[in-house]
């Protein structure tokens, strides 16, 4: 920022008219002081955050660009001094010119007898008078008083313009009387600034009106300037009072600076905290506006410091909210992803798997954190709506399942009865086909009441095993045949692809569990020694073989699944 201010200052330095850049230079100086105050505060915060030996005091390290500014200001002041000297010389020269012109005016009044020529000479001198620039301030009023007196004398002495002059004098008198009436109203105005502005305006208007009638000239002047003196005394008294309280105001401003420093020393981690202390800072700024004037030199310096601290607070606030906004976006994106996953399960009829997934998504929702308050309620409504759709469908589904399960129980009882009556003919292909058809119908029936499930399945499996034994079919062939029938049933149902993937995952997990179980059996074999160990080993060997058989069956089942 300071480098940019220097660039601006360099550009201003190129301006030929040095007086035209005074306000711009003053503003740049104030901005520079404000930046220095920020740097001091930041260095102070860094100093306070570090440990130092006891007694170590904070020392501000000036910016290396400060020296460059000092060089510029030195050159600028030198130009201003040179301009001031030049201006003073020009004003002295103008004073000499106007003094000489006053002599010329007097000469015209006293010596010129021809009215036309006198009037022409007067106007020519008047143009020269107007063309001359400023004179030293302490000589201005004296010169103008002499000029106006000469002007009045000139017009009074030129008889040919007497009638016109009388008309102008009446008009000027009326203007002065009106101006006096307006000047009287100043006493009713409460704002000192407005009073001061009107004083300057009315005095300039009075000087521009011109001469009025000689008999009332002095009376009008005394009345008008008497009102101006009263107003001036009021304005001067106001500023005297301000100067008397300026030290108190300076102390009040220092207290406000300390309060701002205290605010900046705090760490805010919530929106409510930032909002609360923002109101406190705005209140401090409002107090500053009502703190009155301090001594001019200190007033500009302490204002630059206070403004710099306020700017630093709002810069920190902006940075924190931008960071918070990024966190909001991350939470919003995560919640959008959870909503999308919820919708994937919305239409699923694999009630167990989908219910577990939905519950996990709901738990994960709780851990994500808050999105932007403007988005949070909308996101929650969408997520809850997606969950409600699923759980409402599930509720409706299971509400109608009780009667359906009783019907399914009756159907399975009928299948068992049919299976009991089924005769094995000895034709293996025909008999296997009939058993497979019965098995497919069994699996297509659907759920039965839980309390009857084990009993009915055990009866079915026992009868089915006896039928296969009569056909001399190996257990693996029977199991794989039933599994193929199960896969056909899954493929033909809703969410077939999803259920096939889930089936494969369950089989893989079961096989991993059996492999670990077999490994445990093998480890146990080395433990049993001494009397009775052989019997235990034989029992474990049987378990190992049964486990390996199940593992092989699971491998074959996994190979049959195409996902």
Question: Tokens 């096989």 appear where?
Answer: 511
Residue 264 CB partners (closer than 8 Å, separation 6+):
41, 45, 309, 312, 313, 316
Q: What share of the chain is helix, strand, coil (3-state, %, to 5)?
A: 85, 0, 15
Verdict on whether the full-model pTM lies above 0.85: no
Alpha helices in 14-136, H assignment, sequence order:
22-49, 65-111, 115-131
Closest Cα partner for 560 from 481, 473, 444, 465? Answer: 481
Cα dist. 18→83, 91, 480 in Å?
8, 17, 103
Structure tokens at 235: 């304005």
Are the beta carbons of 155 and 161 closer than 8 angstroms?
yes
Domain regions of the chain by residue span = 160-259, 326-396, 400-473, 497-563
Can you list the pairs that 177-185 forms with residues at least 24 positions away whose Cβ atoms lie under 8 Å? 177/220, 179/205, 179/206, 179/209, 179/224, 180/220, 180/223, 180/224, 180/227, 183/224, 183/227, 183/228, 183/231, 184/227
Cα 440 from Cα 281, distance rounded (Å): 79
Residue-level pLDDT, tens digit, the chain, 563 residues = 777 777 777 777 777 777 777 778 788 778 878 877 887 888 777 777 777 787 787 777 877 777 777 877 887 788 778 777 877 787 788 888 888 888 888 887 877 766 677 778 888 888 888 888 887 878 788 888 888 888 888 777 765 555 555 677 788 888 888 888 888 888 888 888 888 888 889 888 888 887 777 777 888 888 888 988 988 888 888 777 767 677 778 788 888 888 888 888 888 777 778 788 788 888 888 888 887 777 777 778 888 888 888 888 788 777 766 666 666 677 777 777 877 887 777 777 777 787 888 888 788 877 777 766 776 777 787 778 878 877 777 776 666 666 777 788 888 888 888 888 888 877 877 877 787 787 778 777 777 887 888 888 888 888 877 877 777 665 566 666 667 766 666 666 666 677 777 777 888 888 888 888 888 777 776 666 655 566 667 777 777 888 888 888 778 778 777 65
Cα 154 from Cα 165, distance rounded (Å): 11
Are the beta carbons of 327 and 320 closer than 8 angstroms?
no
Instruction: For CA atoms 170, 174, 175, 179, give the dihedral sign.
Output: positive
Structure tokens at 42: 């930041």
Are the beta carbons of 37 and 264 closer than 8 angstroms?
no
Are the beta carbons of 210 and 172 closer than 8 angstroms?
yes
Region of 369 on the Ramachandran plot (φ > 0 left; ψ -120 to 50 alpha; else beta):
left
Cβ neighbours around 534 below 10 Å, total: 10
Instruction: For CA atoms 284, 289, 293, 299, give the dihedral sign.
Output: positive
Are the beta carbons of 195 and 186 closer than 8 angstroms?
yes
3-state secondary structure of 190: coil
Cα dist. 522→294, 510, 525 in Å?
94, 18, 5
User: What is the 3-state secondary structure of 44-75?
Assistant: HHHHHHCCCCCCCCCCCCCCCHHHHHHHHHHH
Per residue in 220-278, pLDDT (tens digit) is 888 888 988 988 888 888 777 767 677 778 788 888 888 888 888 888 777 778 788 78
Closest Cα partner for 478 from 563, 548, 549, 547? Answer: 549
Region of 55 on the Ramachandran plot (φ > 0 left; ψ -120 to 50 alpha; else beta):
left
Closest Cα partner for 266 from 6, 515, 40, 48? Answer: 48
Query: How confident is the model at residue 491, as a pLDDT?
Result: 66
Residue 8 CB partners (closer than 8 Å, separation 6+):
28
Structure tokens at 377: 């309620």
User: What is the 3-state secondary structure of 302-324?
Assistant: HHHHHHHHHHHHHHHHHHHHHHH
Give the distance from CA 351 to its chain's centroid: 45
Are the beta carbons of 168 and 210 closer than 8 angstroms?
yes
Closest Cα partner for 309 from 347, 350, 277? Answer: 277
Q: How big is the chain by its Cα radius of gyration, in Å? A: 53
């Amino acid at each position: 920022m300071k480098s940019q201010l220097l660039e601006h200052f360099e550009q201003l330095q190129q301006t030929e008219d040095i007086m035209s850049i005074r306000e711009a230079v003053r503003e740049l100086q104030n901005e520079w002081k404000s930046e220095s105050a920020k740097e001091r505060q930041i260095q102070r915060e860094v100093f306070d955050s570090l440990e130092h030996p006891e007694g170590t005091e904070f020392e501000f390290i000036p910016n290396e660009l400060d020296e460059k500014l000092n060089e510029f200001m030195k050159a600028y002041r030198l130009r201003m001094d040179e301009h001031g000297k030049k201006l003073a010389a020009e004003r002295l020269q103008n004073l000499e010119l106007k003094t000489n012109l006053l002599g010329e005016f007097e000469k015209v009044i006293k010596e010129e007898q021809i009215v036309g020529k006198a009037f022409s000479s007067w106007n020519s001198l008047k143009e020269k008078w107007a063309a001359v620039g400023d004179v030293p301030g302490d000589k201005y009023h004296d010169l103008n008083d002499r000029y106006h007196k000469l002007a009045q004398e000139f017009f009074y002495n030129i008889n040919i313009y007497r009638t016109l002059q009388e008309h102008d004098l009446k008009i000027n008198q009326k203007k002065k009387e009106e101006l006096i009436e307006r000047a009287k109203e100043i006493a009713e105005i409460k704002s000192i600034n407005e009073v001061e502005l009107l004083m300057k305006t009315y005095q300039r208007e009075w000087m521009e009106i011109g001469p009025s009638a000689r008999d009332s000239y002095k009376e009008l002047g005394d009345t008008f300037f008497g009102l101006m003196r009263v107003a001036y005394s009021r304005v001067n008294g106001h500023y005297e009072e301000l100067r008397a309280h300026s030290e108190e105001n300076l102390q009040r401003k220092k207290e406000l600076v300390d309060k701002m420093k205290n605010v900046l020393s705090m760490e805010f981690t919530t929106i409510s905290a930032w909002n609360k202390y923002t109101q406190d800072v705005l209140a401090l700024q409002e107090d500053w506006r009502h703190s009155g004037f301090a001594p001019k030199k200190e007033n500009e310096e302490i204002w630059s410091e206070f403004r710099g601290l306020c700017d630093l607070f709002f810069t920190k606030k902006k940075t924190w909210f931008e960071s918070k906004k990024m966190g909001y976006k991350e939470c919003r994106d995560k919640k959008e992803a959870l909503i999308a996953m919820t919708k994937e399960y919305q239409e699923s009829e694999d009630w167990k798997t989908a219910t577990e997934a939905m519950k996990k998504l709901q738990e994960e929702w709780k851990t994500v954190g808050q999105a932007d308050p403007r988005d949070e309620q909308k996101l929650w409504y969408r997520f809850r709506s997606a969950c409600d759709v699923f759980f409402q469908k599930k509720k409706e589904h299971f509400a109608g399942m009780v009667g359906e399960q009783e019907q399914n129980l009756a159907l399975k009882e009928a299948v068992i009865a049919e299976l009991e009556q089924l005769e094995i003919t000895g034709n293996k292909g025909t008999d296997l086909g009939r058993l497979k058809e019965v098995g497919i119908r069994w699996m297509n029936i659907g759920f039965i009441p839980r309390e009857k499930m084990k009993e009915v399945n055990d009866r079915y499996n026992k009868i089915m095993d006896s039928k296969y034994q009569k056909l001399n079919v190996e257990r693996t062939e029977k199991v794989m045949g039933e599994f193929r029938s199960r896969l056909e049933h899954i493929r033909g149902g809703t969410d077939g692809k999803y259920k096939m993937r889930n089936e494969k995952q369950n089989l893989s997990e079961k096989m991993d569990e059996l492999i670990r179980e077999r490994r445990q059996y093998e480890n146990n074999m080395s433990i049993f020694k001494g009397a009775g160990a052989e019997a235990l080993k034989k029992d474990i060997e049987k378990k190992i073989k049964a486990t390996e058989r199940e593992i092989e069956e699971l491998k074959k089942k996994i190979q049959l699944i195409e996902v």
